């Protein structure tokens, strides 16, 4: 069943701020408030936010206040209902915290000297911390309101990028991390000697096999929920022997040094911008227990953090000749494009397609200077062709942290949108290939100038493909077609945006009815409802996906 058969009503995900509830007061200084409380107390609040609230709907804040402080809760709700009644935003869901809230509390905490005891009463502690969370919300919203002429899609994307960059569906995140990690490590096992050396160094570093490493991370989240995010170091709760203690021991946050709250620029690697120290070490040593203080970051160690962890491990290999030349190329090109994308496109394709990989196309034609290179992948049937461009992009952590519309849009232009003379990135690559096909100048495979062509942009990171981005990409695509004076033929099909997770989850569906069937279903929905904030990925998420099928497929592989 597909719920998008009727128009999907997008709801804004809005976090209530200090100014919303306390408009009569000046903004508060978060550091000043936190300086009155011990590091242990603040860690406990951060852990509670992650374990019990996550994406905390505002009404859930009743559980934030203890029974003796219900008067404080009632005052908060009174102020909330006044604010809500005056809100100018329709179709809005209101939240008081997110997975980012706890991380921000810790980020402030570890940027200050350690405090051992609390100065204030427990009653004042709850009131102060709740107000501090509201102030944090205010400081983490995107500064879109200061930009004139901002459009619907940018508003929706920035709204999502600010708050759900870490991932709001932990089950979905766990599946993505597990599948990506499984295929990445299997690739290292079966490739060249340098990659195998890297794998051996990785396993030596963590004191266990990669299979046990991944299993520890994925199972720990489920087990820790029943223990309020704390696991005894004996791991006695692990009755099925799923976890390895050495994995936790190598992820413990170094609390001996004061961490600079933020980096001063894109190049500064000393500050804790984008939670770089927390991403590296998502475990706190609490004497006889491990504290898993951020579920998204802990799960992200399975795959997302490899981009930052592997360069350090690679340097542990004694001789340079035995090391991987470029970890970035290993992940972005060798794995994401040449392994993950190819594997799942092949698994999702029926027998009517002929596949042209980049290597196959480059063997057919030698690219000349200033010519557009081969697509990452092409599928050709007797009725149509599908062009794939895969982008393993990561928005710069410092840029994301600025929550500034102009900086974020510029980052997107540099990595996937292109602009003006620099129109040769993701979107521009696809329109460039379309232009060459229509002009009988596409050398990489035989595609007739009048053949129906589906351009597909694959973004490897699902967190980049938030709702709203598709509308930004769609406008860029139309502008690029116009700038290249490409004839507006019905054979030029609308741009498709997805991640490998779409292929992974719906491989069987695509194999049975073909990519084009679902592309056209999506296009018809868009033509009727014009909801371009929704990518093909979001549309396909409305089809039933049985997680158990995927679990069964990989059961016993780790």
Please give the average per-residue pLDDT across 55-80, as a whole number: 88
Helix orientation angle between 469-483 and 426-438, rounded to the nearest 10 degrees: 40
**Average of pLDDT values for 498-514?**
92
Average pLDDT over residues 485-507: 88
pLDDT of residue 7 exceeding 70, the answer is no
Would you say residue 248 has pLDDT above 60? yes
Tokens 């004042």 found at: 124
Q: What is the pLDDT of residue 1?
A: 44
**pLDDT of 96 over the 70 cut:** yes
Closest CA to 305 of 352, 224, 250: 250
Encoded tokens for 18: 């200090």
Average pLDDT for residues 91-112, to the nearest whole number? 88
CA 329 to each of CA 192, 311, 381: distance values in angstroms, whole numbers, following the listed order = 14, 12, 31
Q: What one-character DSSP code corresponds to residue 58? A: G
pLDDT-based confidence at residue 223 (cuts at 50, 70, 90): confident
Confidence (pLDDT) at 81: 93
Kindly report, residue by residue over 30-49, the tens digit of the pLDDT. Answer: 999 999 999 999 999 999 98
167: left (phi over 0), alpha (psi -120 to 50) or beta: left
Residue 350 pLDDT more than 50? Answer: yes
Confidence of residue 298 (pLDDT cuts 50, 70, 90): very high
Per-residue confidence (pLDDT) for residue 146, from 0 to 100 = 47
Interval 199-203 mean pLDDT: 96
- pLDDT reading at 520 higher than 90: yes
User: Nearest 5°: CA angle at 100, between 175 and 305?
Assistant: 45
Picking from 180-194, 404-418, 449-463, which range would have the lowest pLDDT averaged per residue?
A: 404-418
pLDDT reported for residue 486: 83
Q: What is the pLDDT of residues 267-295, one digit of tens each?
A: 666 777 778 889 999 999 998 999 999 99
**In the chain, ranges of CATH 3.40.91 domains:** 331-555
pLDDT confidence tier of residue 4, bands split at 50, 70 and 90: very low
| Cβ proximity of 461 and 165 under 8 Å | no
118 CB contacts (<8 Å, ≥6 apart)? 36, 37, 38, 41, 125
Report residue 107's pLDDT band, with 50, 70 and 90 as the boundaries.
very high
What fold characterizes domain 331-555?
A: Restriction Endonuclease (3.40.91)
The upper half-sphere exposure of residue 94, i.e. CA atoms within 13 Å in the direction of its Cβ, equals 19
Most confident of 126-130, 136-140, 165-169, 397-401: 126-130
| pLDDT in the model for residue 410 | 85
- The whole-angstrom separation of Cα 232 and Cα 403 is 38
CA neighbours closer than 13 Å in the CB half-sphere of residue 492 = 19
Nearest to 418 by CA among 338, 494, 484: 484
CB 458 within 8 A of CB 477: no
Least confident of 17-26, 157-166, 212-221, 311-320: 157-166
Arithmetic mean of pLDDT, 12-18: 82
Single pTM value for the model:
0.88
Sheet hosting strand 56-57, strand order edge to edge: 12-15, 92-97, 56-57
What residues contact residue 226 under an 8 Å CB cut-off, 6+ apart? 237
Question: Which is higher by pLDDT, 324 or 14?
Answer: 324
**pLDDT at 232 exceeding the cut of 50:** yes
Percent of the chain past pLDDT 90, that is, above it, reads 46
The pLDDT of residue 149 is 57
Angle between helices 469-483 and 152-164 in degrees, nearest 10: 130
Alpha carbon distance 327, 172 (integer Å): 26
Residue 424 has pLDDT above 70, yes or no: no
Q: Over the chain, what is the mean pLDDT?
A: 86
Q: Who's near 175: CB < 8 A, 6+ residues apart?
A: 501, 547, 550
pLDDT at 275: 86
Q: With the C-alpha atoms ordered 138, 143, 149, 154, is the resulting torsion angle positive or negative? A: negative
């Amino acid at each position: 069943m597909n719920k998008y058969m009727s128009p999907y009503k997008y709801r804004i995900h809005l976090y209530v701020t200090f100014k919303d509830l306390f408009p009569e007061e000046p903004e508060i200084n978060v550091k000043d408030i936190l300086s009155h409380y011990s590091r242990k107390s603040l860690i406990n609040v951060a852990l509670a936010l992650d374990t019990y609230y996550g994406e905390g709907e505002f009404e859930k804040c009743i559980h934030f206040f203890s029974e003796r402080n219900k008067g404080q809760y009632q005052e908060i709700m009174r102020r909330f209902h006044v604010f809500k009644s005056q809100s100018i935003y329709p179709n809005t869901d209101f939240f008081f915290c997110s997975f980012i809230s706890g991380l921000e509390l810790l980020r402030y905490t570890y940027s200050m000297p350690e405090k051992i005891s609390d100065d204030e009463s427990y009653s004042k502690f709850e009131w102060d911390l709740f107000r501090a969370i509201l102030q944090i919300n205010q400081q983490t919203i995107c500064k879109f309101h200061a930009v004139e002429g901002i459009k619907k899609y940018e508003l929706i994307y920035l709204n999502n990028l600010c708050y759900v960059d870490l991932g709001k569906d932990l089950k979905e995140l766990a599946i993505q991390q597990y599948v990506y990690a499984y295929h990445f490590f299997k690739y290292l096992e079966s490739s060249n000697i340098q990659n195998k050396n890297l794998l051996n160094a990785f396993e030596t570093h963590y004191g266990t096999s990669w299979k046990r490493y991944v299993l520890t991370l994925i199972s720990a989240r489920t087990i820790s929920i029943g223990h309020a995010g704390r696991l005894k170091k004996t791991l006695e709760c692990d009755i099925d022997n799923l976890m390895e203690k050495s994995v936790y021991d190598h992820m413990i946050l170094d609390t001996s040094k004061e961490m600079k709250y933020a980096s001063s620029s894109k190049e500064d690697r000393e500050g804790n911008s984008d939670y770089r120290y927390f991403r590296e070490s998502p475990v706190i040593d609490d004497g006889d227990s491990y504290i898993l203080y951020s579920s998204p970051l802990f799960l992200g160690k399975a795959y997302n953090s490899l981009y930052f962890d592997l360069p350090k491990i690679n340097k542990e290999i004694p001789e340079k000749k035995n090391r991987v030349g470029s970890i970035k190329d290993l992940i972005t090109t060798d794995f994401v494009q040449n392994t993950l994308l190819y594997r799942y496109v092949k698994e999702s394709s029926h027998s009517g397609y002929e596949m042209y990989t980049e290597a196959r196309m480059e063997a057919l034609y030698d690219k000349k200077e200033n010519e557009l290179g081969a697509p990452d992948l092409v599928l050709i049937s007797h009725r149509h062709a599908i062009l794939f461009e895969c982008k393993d992009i990561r928005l710069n952590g410092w840029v994301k942290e600025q929550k500034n519309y102009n900086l974020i849009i510029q980052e997107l232009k540099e990595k996937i949108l292109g602009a003006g003379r620099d129109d040769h990135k993701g979107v521009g690559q696809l329109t460039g290939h379309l232009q060459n096909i229509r002009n009988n100048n596409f050398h990489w495979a035989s595609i007739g100038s009048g053949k129906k062509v589906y351009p597909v942009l694959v973004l490897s990171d699902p967190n980049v493909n938030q709702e709203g981005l598709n509308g930004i990409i769609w406008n860029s695509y139309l502008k690029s077609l116009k700038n290249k004076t490409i004839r507006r033929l019905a054979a030029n099909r609308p741009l498709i945006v997805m991640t490998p997770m779409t292929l992974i989850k719906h491989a069987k569906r695509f194999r049975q009815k073909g990519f084009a069937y679902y592309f056209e279903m999506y296009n018809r929905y868009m033509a009727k409802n014009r909801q371009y904030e929704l990518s093909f990925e979001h549309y396909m998420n409305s089809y039933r996906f049985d997680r158990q099928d995927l679990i069964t497929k990989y059961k016993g592989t780790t």
